[in-house]
Structure 1
Amino acid sequence: MKLPAALVLALLVLAGGVDGALAGDAVSVCYNYGCLVQGDVVFSNGELRRVRALLGDAQSPVHERALLGVAVGWMLGWAGQRLPINADRAGNLADEGVDGRMDCIDHSTTTTRLLRLLEARGWLRFHRVLEPVQRTRGLIFDHFSAQIEEKAADNSAPADEEVLARRYVVDSWYVDNGQPAPVLALQRWQSGDGPDDD
């Protein structure tokens, strides 16, 4: 007796033969500045298993943030094997005019989508994903980044007075495609600091 394809897939998911109900979900990746172009990327089960294993090692919020930077770098690197974003270089000057370049709008949007995929799969133990955040320096210098928030010990949302201290940016704009994304305290980033400002 031949089983319907949907039933076979459901049985594989239940048996653990497919990496969860979200296997095959496409993540839309923005590039060429301001999300001018978007391309869908479907990560392989092997790639997703690797990310799950990496994040599964997180022992603390600090450790998870470090691992998230690596995971985002991997995922953008794999996306660069499918889309021209492999040409993306840190900042906006080194790849000016190149197909696949990404500005901070492209990075913040795409990184947020990647983090949401990880969150939806239950792979974030210590953080929740927030909407991208903006900082303004002067009248015309805006910068955007993906943003996460450390959960309270009981997984509740932090008290109002703790909110800013528990927020971090995951800012892949600072690095070349495929490199670990810097994760910085939101307050430090809002003041204009980058990953090299110690």
Structure 2
Amino acid sequence: MIPRLLLLFALAGPALAEQRVAVCYNWDCAAQAEVVFDDYQWLEATRLLALANNAAGERALLAQSLGRLYRWAGEQTPIRHDLAGNGADGDLDGRMDCIDHSTTTTRLLRLLEAYGALHWHRVGEPARRTHYLVAQHFAAVIEEQASGESYAVDSWFVDNGQPVVILPLAAWMEGEGSSVE
């Protein structure tokens, strides 16, 4: 029995422990709350990423993993009320603008990166696009290690808990993503 348990622990990967991260909300990070992901949530989020066979696969699985992390964060904070864009959630507690999203998503990505869950990408600094001199939008950024290509990771485009949008940064800078406001 003991050899089987040792084998299970060896296959389990890095030691599990609660993971903590601060989430921003109520626009411009006016409010922040610490979120704690328990061992099983963290294991689910990281094991999903371990299924990736290449960079494109990791991006697809990362979109799902981040959606789950946001959903679990919403179970502990008012961000569960956040809807895609800025217009639909009015003045609800927990609403998130693109600054809240890009900051929180970057924190989540850095947590995944520090844990060793990202194998094909590294985390960059958030990006800003500006159209017509006043319309600004921010997103988290990852860079594919092999090609050096950067990708926007934008959770602002979706309701809380849904898979995030990941697309080439150059396309995102040109306005691609979603039509939400």
- TM-score after normalising by structure 2: 0.89
CA contact (8 A) 1:19 1:45 kept: no
- Secondary structure, aligned partner of 1:112: helix
The Cα shift of 1:139 comes to 1.4
**Correspondence for 2:59:** 65
Distance 1:126 1:194, change over 3 A: same
Identity of aligned residues (%): 52
- TM-score after normalising by structure 1: 0.82
**Which whole-Å deviations, capped at 9, do the CAs of 1:164-192 have from their partners, x for residues lacking one?**
xx100110000000000010100000001
**Correspondence for 1:136:** 130
- Secondary structure, aligned partner of 2:33: strand
5 Å-filtered alignment, 1:14-25, equals 20=14, 23-25=17-19
In 1, the alpha carbon distance for the partners of 2:114 and 2:78 equals 26
In 1, the alpha carbon distance for the partners of 2:152 and 2:126 equals 8
Determine which of 105, 111, 114 is the counterpart of 1:117: 111
In 2, the alpha carbon distance for the partners of 1:51 and 1:25 equals 11
**Which whole-Å deviations, capped at 9, do the CAs of 1:47-85 have from their partners, x for residues lacking one?**
011012100100110000000100110000000000000
* Stretches of 4+ aligned residues off by more than 3 angstroms: 18-22
Residue 36 in 1 paired to residue 30 in 2? yes
5 Å-filtered alignment, 1:162-173, equals 163=148, 166-173=149-156
**Correspondence for 1:79:** 73
**Correspondence for 2:4:** none
Who wins on radius of gyration, i.e. which is larger?
Answer: 1
CA contact (8 A) 1:146 1:171 kept: yes
- Secondary structure, aligned partner of 1:192: coil
- Secondary structure, aligned partner of 2:76: coil
In 2, the alpha carbon distance for the partners of 1:19 and 1:87 equals 34
- Secondary structure, aligned partner of 2:156: helix
> Which runs of 5 or more residues in structure 1 are unaligned?
1-14, 153-157
In 1, the alpha carbon distance for the partners of 2:58 and 2:126 equals 19
In 1, the alpha carbon distance for the partners of 2:13 and 2:33 equals 23
- Secondary structure, aligned partner of 1:131: coil
Residue 147 in 1 paired to residue 160 in 2? no
In 2, the alpha carbon distance for the partners of 1:90 and 1:194 equals 12
In 2, the alpha carbon distance for the partners of 1:86 and 1:124 equals 26
Aligned length: 170
In 2, the alpha carbon distance for the partners of 1:148 and 1:191 equals 17
Supply the AA of the counterpart residue of 1:178.
Answer: G
The alignment yields a C-alpha RMSD, in angstroms, of 1.7
- Secondary structure, aligned partner of 1:69: helix
Residue 179 in 1 paired to residue 173 in 2? no
**Which whole-Å deviations, capped at 9, do the CAs of 1:9-57 have from their partners, x for residues lacking one?**
xxxxxx67x9846723320000000000000001010001101210010
- Secondary structure, aligned partner of 1:35: coil
In 2, the alpha carbon distance for the partners of 1:136 and 1:68 equals 26
CA contact (8 A) 1:107 1:171 kept: yes
